[in-house]
Amino acid sequence: MIAAIRGTHDILPGEVEKWQLVEETARQLCARYGYLELRTPIIEHEELFAKGTGESTDIVQKEMYSFTDKGGERVTMRPEATPSMVRAFVEHNLEQTLPAAKLFAMGPMFRYERPQKGRYRQFHQLDVEVFGVNDPAIDAEVIDLAWMLIAALGIERAELVVNSVGCAQCRPAFQEALLKALGDDLPRLCEDCQRRARTNPLRIYDCKVEADQPIIDRLPHSIDYLCEPCATHFRDVRAHLDAFGIPWSLSHRLVRGLDYYTRTTFEILGQALGAQNALLGGGRYDGLVKDLGGPDRPGIGFAAGLERLVLALPASAAPAVPARAFVVAIGDDGRREALVLLRELRAAGLAAQMEFEAKGVRAQMKRADRLQARVALIVGGDELARGEVTLRTMANGDQRSAPRADIVEIVRGLLT
Ligand code: AMP
């Protein structure tokens, strides 16, 4: 037997209904907030992520599924959606063609990470992005949409954490203060942190190495180094969240794993997810559109991990069994008519099934039970001679006869 690749997983019937619930809830919410769906390819030029996600990130350094295709082109299976969304925004000049550049996408992402609960090599994200809006109200709208999603899914005890990492003007002073505060401690940090100190010192806050934590806890906080416009922006974002009644807390360590973030960063953390407790995360990336060859437009967005949302769903979120009918055939004549009736029900928009292999009535009824059918339609020689069908309500076993000609409408009434 050839098994699935490590870090990938099948989403089986029984589980997939939860995915459909999450996806459907996300789609409805995005529509309500005015976000339009954009579908981008899974493969892109490697350069898009090297530039977009950032050379100094763990993703680009160690986790990308990149290969040379048959034409000699370096291609990457997307590790995240934002660079692709920016590319599509620029390539199709969407700011001219769309009423507002508020977009969402859903689909698989690929990162060569160490698999564990809530962390996979092929996983799925809902990605939400807005281009071209500076106002702090859009930061609040995006965070609110994320918060609403969690609430709509019935996920309890989720926690919103926010931070501001400043902008190109104020970040250099913060980085300098960070390196200065590290001083003699730097050589004692892990190898990754040594690299981060050279390439992007803020990333040191991402470090999960136990021994490094006491040193990192003593480092300065980005919000103490914000320039006036960044400080005002962050204050306004928090004021909007307060006005919405969305509880938040400040996390100095929230710099996020990607290079492009500016100003607002945020995450929503879930309970009972173990070490991988981030349900979603995002922030502002005001320089990214320009860096990727587009106009100088700000951007903000978030990505939610669908696996983690599904894991965090309350047990009560199990989607209801769809109402369906089951057709039971007795004898060859019955079977011929049962097949026609089955098709009529389906053509009328009703969910209906039949058992083709088991011949006995008892075996067919058993199947109807397993399928949790609401009603069984029994079609046999006697019934046919009378121009009738026997209707059985599965919940209580009540049976009655109904005219063959009216049966579709009667079943519709019972199922809807
Ligand atoms: P990121 O794109 O790293 O900001 O991640 C955004 C969200 O995607 C996280 O909060 C997780 O919910 C999810 N996520 C990221 N990496 C993985 C992974 N390897 N497996 C499953 N979910 C992930």
- DSSP secondary structure of 252-282: TT---SSTT-EEEEEEEE-SSSTT--EEEEE
pLDDT > 90 in the chain, percent: 82
CA 49 to chain centre: 20
Residue 192: per-residue pLDDT: 87
Q: Which element (helix H / strand E) includes 413?
A: helix 407-415
Q: Taking a C-beta distance cutoff of 8 angstroms, is the pair 106, 23 a contact?
A: yes
pLDDT in tens, 117-150: 899 999 999 999 999 999 999 999 999 999 999 9
Residues 263-289 as b or e (16 or more Cβ within 10 Å = b):
bbbbbbbbeebeebbbbbbbbbbbbbb
Q: Per-residue pLDDT averaged across 213-240, rounded?
A: 95
* CA of residue 267 to ligand 1 center, whole Å: 11
Q: Cβ(412) to ligand 1 under 6 A?
A: no
Q: Which residue is closest in CA terms to ligand 1's atom 9?
A: 280
Segment 156-171, tens digit of pLDDT: 999 999 999 999 899 8
What single-letter DSSP state applies at residue 119?
Answer: B
Average pLDDT over every residue of 406-414 = 96
Distance (angstroms) between ligand 1 centre and the Cα of 355 equals 43
Residue-level pLDDT at 276: 78
Residue to mutate (ligand 1; options 19, 119, 259; most atoms within 8 A of CB): 119
Task: Convert the pLDDT of each residue in 68-109 to its tens digit.
Answer: 999 999 999 999 999 999 999 999 999 999 989 999 999 999
- The amino acid present at 286, given as its one-letter code, is D
- 277 Cα to the center of ligand 1, angstroms: 10
Nearest Cα residue to atom 21 of ligand 1: 119
Name the residue at shortest CA distance from atom 16 of ligand 1.
119
**CA–CA dist 95, 132 (Å, integer):** 8
Please report which confidence band the pLDDT of residue 41 belongs to, taking 50, 70 and 90 as the band edges: very high
Q: Is 158 in the pocket of ligand 1 (CB under 6 A)?
A: no
Average pLDDT over residues 401-416: 95
pTM metric for this prediction:
0.92
Residue written as token pair 């409805």:
28
- How close is the Cα of 263 to the center of ligand 1, in Å? 20
Report whether residue 280 contacts ligand 1, using a CB cutoff of 6 Å.
Answer: yes
Closest C-alpha residue for ligand 1 atom 12: 305
CA of 304 to the centre of ligand 1 (A): 7
pLDDT score of 56 = 80
Q: Is the pLDDT of residue 257 over 70?
A: no
Q: Whose CA is nearest to atom 17 of ligand 1?
A: 119
pLDDT digits (tens, 9 = 90+) for 300-346: 999 999 999 999 999 888 777 789 999 999 998 899 999 999 999 99
CB atoms within 10 A of CB 78: 24
